């Protein structure tokens, strides 16, 4: 009887999880046809079938939670794979001025709104992180879908993303240590330990990453996938034991890989990452009551509008520094509007705070608005440029990819 009951429960769990994953596949397909990221659709699905939704799924909370945690690790690991040590050094050398402006203009509104809502300074700092960081995943997808990888302003956009992601390597451990709390001495000790751990992992990644990559690259696909996946979990677990975000540990592992090992790993890990990442976004919004989302909708709209403007200013400034004209500056600014994976990770960190439900709901609404509005804004940036009277091209402003043949350049003029 006990075995039969267990079999029934297991079968029901399989059905619910299978239906959920299959539904996410349909949503991803629908998003691809629209040419937008699937993140907003995953969040809506979680709202619909989670707390206060139209139909609550009784899927195993422990299973989905663990899958969501793995999704965060693989998201940040994949992000780290996209950067080389040269790009990191160049980013730190040339990207600090726009990176500083980015932090002030985009984290500031979130912090101010948090205080205006009566939240603690820590909760307000988390909301500042939510509004600060652009979604590297969404930005990369939009640039690829619109064929703008070779545009003049694109290096400034990618450079700014490097600075933001490196800033997260400091920000996340610090806020995680503050959330743990304790006395002033205990908190400061936790912060220092967290930063030292991050610095050690980063230096090890840059110093020994090449040797690690060479060793991993010689194995089969199976051995490479198992070794890398195990290493990501191992480093994330060690980082977590020191109150450092495991996601940052995974990000630094991604930085360590280069060459053929990096290319093969990205190809092998991408399907696994997409599966678990989708689970993460759904699980996050599972825990949000749609009523809280409605209650914070006004603030979400306000922040989305304000930070769309400030992020556009940031991107325009960064593109202007490398000689882009008016159209290029506007394209660079609008492509950075979208927020996504990092914003949700930051909001999830604060789930245990008294303001956690409000923070989660506000972050979800904000990400929904920017992840949809940002790609649309950049898609029609040139039409917008013409509408506001800045559509005249200059010698430094090329609306064309740098690598097109002359015949195509003439057609695009």
- In contact, 137 and 74? CB cutoff 8 Å: no
DSSP assignment letter at 27: H
The enclosing domain of 237 has a CATH number of 1.20.1530.20
How far is Cα 65 from Cα 284, in angstroms, rounded to an integer?
9
Judged against a pLDDT cut of 60, whether residue 276 lies above it is answered with: yes
**Secondary structure (DSSP) of 107-157:** HHHHHHHHHHTT--HHHHHHHHHHHH---HHHHHHHHHHTT-TTSTTHHHH
- Residue 206 falls within a domain, yes or no? yes
CA atoms within 13 A of residue 246's CA, in its CB half-sphere: 21
- Residue 39 falls within a domain, yes or no? no
- Residue 33 falls within a domain, yes or no? no
**Banded pLDDT at 349 (limits 50, 70, 90):** confident
Residue 385: predicted pLDDT: 63
Judged against a pLDDT cut of 90, whether residue 391 lies above it is answered with: no
Residue 104: predicted pLDDT: 95
Q: Please tell me the total count of domains within the chain.
A: 1
Residue 111: predicted pLDDT: 97
- Residue 36 falls within a domain, yes or no? no
Residue 89 is part of which domain span? 44-390
> CB burial class (10 A; 0-12, 13-18, 19+) of residue 321?
middle
Residue 396: predicted pLDDT: 43
- Residue 363 falls within a domain, yes or no? yes
**Which of 402 and 316 is assigned the larger pLDDT?**
316
- Residue 27 falls within a domain, yes or no? no
Lowest-confidence range among 1-10, 143-152, 178-187, 404-413?
Answer: 404-413
Write down the pTM of the prediction: 0.77
**Which of 37 and 200 is assigned the larger pLDDT?**
200
- Residue 293 falls within a domain, yes or no? yes
For residues 177-211, b (16+ Cβ closer than 10 Å) or e, as one string?
Answer: bbbeeeeeeeeeebbeebbebbeebbeebeeebee
- Residue 164 falls within a domain, yes or no? yes
Rounded mean pLDDT of 99-113?
95
């Amino acid at each position: 009887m006990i075995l039969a009951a267990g079999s029934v429960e297991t079968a029901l769990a399989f059905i619910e999880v299978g239906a959920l994953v299959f539904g996410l596949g349909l949503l991803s397909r629908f998003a691809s046809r629209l040419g937008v990221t699937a993140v907003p659709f995953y969040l809506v699905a979680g709202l619909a079938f989670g707390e206060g939704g139209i139909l609550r799924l009784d899927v195993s909370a422990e299973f989905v939670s663990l899958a969501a945690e793995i999704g965060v690790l693989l998201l940040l690991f994949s992000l780290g794979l996209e950067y080389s040590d040269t790009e990191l050094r160049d980013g730190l050398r040339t990207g600090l001025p726009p990176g500083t402006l980015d932090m002030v203009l985009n984290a500031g509104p979130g912090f101010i709104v948090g205080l205006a809502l009566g939240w603690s300074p820590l909760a307000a700092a988390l909301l500042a992180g939510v509004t600060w960081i652009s979604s590297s995943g969404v930005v990369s997808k939009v640039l690829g879908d619109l064929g703008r990888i070779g545009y003049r302003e694109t290096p400034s956009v990618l450079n700014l993303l490097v600075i933001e992601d490196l800033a997260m390597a400091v920000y996340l451990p610090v806020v995680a240590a503050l959330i743990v709390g304790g006395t002033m001495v205990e908190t400061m000790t936790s912060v220092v330990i967290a930063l030292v751990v991050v610095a050690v992992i980063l230096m090890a990644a840059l110093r020994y990453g090449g040797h690690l990559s060479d060793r991993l690259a010689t194995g089969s696909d199976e051995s490479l996938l198992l070794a890398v996946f195990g290493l990501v979990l191992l480093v994330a677990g060690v980082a977590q034991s020191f109150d450092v975000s495991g996601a940052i540990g995974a990000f630094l592992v991604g930085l360590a890989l280069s060459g053929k090992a990096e290319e093969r790993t990205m190809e092998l890990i991408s399907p696994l990452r997409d599966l678990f990442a989708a689970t993460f976004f759904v699980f996050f919004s599972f825990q949000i009551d749609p009523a809280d989302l409605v209650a914070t909708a006004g603030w979400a709209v306000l922040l989305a509008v304000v930070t769309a403007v400030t992020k556009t200013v940031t991107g325009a400034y960064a593109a202007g520094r490398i000689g882009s004209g008016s159209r290029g500056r506007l394209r660079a600014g609008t492509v950075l509007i979208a927020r996504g994976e990092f914003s949700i990770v930051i909001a999830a960190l604060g789930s245990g705070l008294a303001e956690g439900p409000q923070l989660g709901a506000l972050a979800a609404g904000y990400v929904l608005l920017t992840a949809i509005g940002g790609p649309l804004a950049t898609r029609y940036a040139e039409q917008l440029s013409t509408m506001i009277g800045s559509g005249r091209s200059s010698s430094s402003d090329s609306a064309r990819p740098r690598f097109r043949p002359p015949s195509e350049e003439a057609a695009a003029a």
